[in-house]
Amino acid sequence: MPEKETTAKVTGFGWLFWLVIVGILGFFTYGNTLIGAFGAIAIAFITGFAILIGFVPIAGPFLYYFWAFPYLLNFSLNLTKLTTSWLTDVFMWYGLILSIVLTAIPTYFIVMFVRDRF
């Protein structure tokens, strides 16, 4: 009797779950308004794109910390007309942690490449 093959079904609704969670947190954090919900979602997207700076080998987290924290946070807060809160701090520190993790990937490959060459 042949064995049954088990596969995992992957759906693309993971981003929708986080979008709803961020919207709900923004709604309650910024005074029970939809502007707070949409603003929190916008800030999450902006900082999410900034995490890609982490792919810069070795210097990625430094670039994120010295560029994203002062300039990107200021830009996104001016864009959404919100103020800083624990929610925006969580987005920024989460981005820094992911930037540190993401910089390890290209740094590892560069170190392995250089080590093999010399």
Whole-model pTM over 0.95: no
Residue 28: the pLDDT is 93
Residue 37: the pLDDT is 92
Residue 5: the pLDDT is 66
pLDDT band for position 11 (cuts 50, 70, 90): low
pLDDT digits (tens, 9 = 90+) for 31-67: 888 999 999 999 888 888 888 888 888 888 898 889 8
Residue 26: C-alpha distances to residues 34, 54, 84, 105 (Å): 8, 26, 12, 32
Is 70 exceeded by the pLDDT of residue 2? no
Residue 57: the pLDDT is 84
pLDDT digits (tens, 9 = 90+) for 67-94: 888 888 899 889 988 899 999 999 889 8
Q: How far apart are CA 54 and CA 85, in angstroms?
A: 24
Residue 10: the pLDDT is 56
Residue 73: the pLDDT is 86
Query: Is the separation of the CB atoms in 50 and 91 below 8 Å?
Result: no
DSSP alpha helices (H): ranges in the chain?
A: 14-29, 34-50, 60-63, 73-80, 86-117
What residues have CB less than 8 Å from 44, skipping those under 6 apart? Answer: 18, 22, 91
- Residue spans of the domains in the chain: they are 14-117
